[in-house]
Amino acid sequence: MRDFWWFARRLLRRKRDVALLALAACVSAGGLGAGLLSLGPMLRIILEQGGSLRTLAEQWNTRHVWPEVPEWAMALLPESAYGGVLAIMAGLVVLTLVGASANFLHQLLSMGVSSRVAAMVRLEVFQHALHLPLAAVTRQGPTEFTSRVLRDTGDLRTGFETLTSKTLAQITKGAAAFLAALIFDWRLVLVALVAGPVLGIALRKTGKSIRRGSKGALEASEVLLRTTNESLQGLRAVKTATAEREALRRFNRANHDALRNEMQARVARSLSGPIVETLAVFAVVTLALVAARQILAGELPFDRFLMSLGSLAVAAGCMRPVAGFVNEMQAAQVPARRLRELLSIGREDAAERGKPALSRHQGSIAFEGLCFRYPGSDRRAVDGASLRIEHGERVAVVGPNGCGKTTLLSLLTRLFEPESGRVTVDGVDIAGIDVRSLRRQIGVVTQEATLIKGTIEENVRFGLRGVDGGQVEQALRRAHAWGFVERLPGGLQAAVGEQGASLSGGQRQRLAIARAVLRDPAILIMDEATSQIDAESEEQINEAIAEFGSGRTVLVIAHRLSTVLACDRIAVMDAGRVIDVGRHDELLGRCELYRRLAQAQLTGAA
d(Cα 344, Cα 461) in Å, to the nearest integer?
Answer: 32
Of 492, 529, 486, 525, the C-alpha closest to 510 is: 529
pLDDT of residue 366: 93
Cα–Cα distance measured from residue 575 to residue 175, given in angstroms and rounded to the nearest whole number: 72
Which percentage of the chain shows pLDDT scores above 90? 9
Strands 428-429 and 420-425: antiparallel
Backbone angle region of 551, left / alpha / beta, with phi > 0 → left and psi within -120 to 50 → alpha: left
Looking at residue 603, what DSSP letter applies? H
In single-letter form, the type of residue at position 104 comes to F
How confident is the prediction for the chain on average, in pLDDT? 77
DSSP 13: G
Q: Cβ(144)–Cβ(222) under 8 Å?
A: yes
The predicted structure's pLDDT at residue 577: 92
Query: For strand 577-582 and strand 420-425, is the pairing parallel, antiparallel, or unpaired?
Result: unpaired
- Please state, in angstroms and rounded to a whole number, the distance separating the CA atoms of residues 214 and 209: 8
Residue 529 predicted with pLDDT over 80 = no
Q: Give the Å distances, CA to CA, from 279 to 99, 193, 203, 456.
A: 30, 12, 12, 65
The tens digit of pLDDT for each residue in 125-139 reads 888 888 888 877 777
Q: Does the pLDDT of residue 295 top 50, yes or no?
A: yes
371 DSSP β-pair partners: 383, 420
Q: Over 70: is that where the pLDDT of 61 sits?
A: no
Provide the pLDDT for residue 466: 80
Residue scoring higher pLDDT (244 or 322): 244
**Position 569: which residue type?**
R
DSSP 8-state secondary structure symbol assigned to residue 488: S
Per-residue model confidence (pLDDT) at position 572: 92
Q: In the structure, what pLDDT confidence band is assigned to residue 494 with cuts at 50, 70 and 90?
A: confident
Give pLDDT, residue 425: 93
| Across 88-92, 95-99, 361-365, 483-487, least confident range | 88-92
- In this prediction, residue 249 has a pLDDT band, given cuts at 50, 70 and 90, of confident
List, for residues 132-166, the tens digit of each pLDDT value: 888 777 777 777 788 888 888 888 888 888 888 77
Rounded distance between C-alpha atoms, residue 31 and residue 291, angstroms: 27
Higher pLDDT, 312 or 441: 441
Confidence of residue 505 (pLDDT cuts 50, 70, 90): confident
Using DSSP's 3-state secondary structure scheme, residue 292 falls into: helix
User: Does the pLDDT value for residue 15 go beyond 80?
Assistant: yes
DSSP 507: H
Residue 470 pLDDT > 70: yes
Q: Amino acid letter at 18?
A: V
Domains of the chain: 2-346 (1.20.1560.10), 364-605 (3.40.50.300)
Nearest to 313 by CA among 303, 324, 305: 305
Pick left, alpha or beta for residue 480 (phi over 0 → left; psi -120 to 50 → alpha; otherwise beta): left
Q: Which of 68-82, 460-474, 561-575 has the least mean pLDDT?
A: 68-82
If you average pLDDT over each of 151-160, 283-292, 479-488, 572-581, which comes out highest? 572-581
Angle at 62 between CA 58 and CA 67, to 5 degrees: 80
Q: How far apart are the first and last CA of the chain?
A: 67
Dihedral sign of CA atoms 108, 112, 113, 115 in order: positive
Give the pLDDT of residue 5: 86
Buried/exposed 533-569: b ≥16 CB within 10 Å, e otherwise? beeebbebbbebbeebbeebbbbbbbbbbebbebbeb
**φ, ψ dihedrals at 572, nearest 5°:** -100, 125
> Among 26-40, 90-104, 535-549, whose mean pLDDT is lowest?
26-40
Res 606: pLDDT = 36
Listed residue (466, 484, 485, 482) closest to 474, CA to CA = 482
Cβ neighbours, 10 Å, residue 382: 28
At 423 the pLDDT is 93
- pTM for the predicted model, two decimal places: 0.69
Q: List, in order, residues 6 or more apart from 589 with CB less than 8 Å away.
A: none
pLDDT, tens digit (0-9, with 9 covering 90-100), for 181-219: 666 666 666 655 655 555 556 556 666 666 666 667 667
> Is the pLDDT at 57 greater than 90, yes or no?
no
Q: Per-residue b/e over 81-106, b at no fewer than 16 CB within 10 Å? A: beebbebbeebeeebeeebeebbebb
Contact 163, 8 (CB under 8 A): yes
pLDDT in the model for residue 367: 93
CA torsion angle for 53, 59, 62, 64 (degrees, to 10)? -80
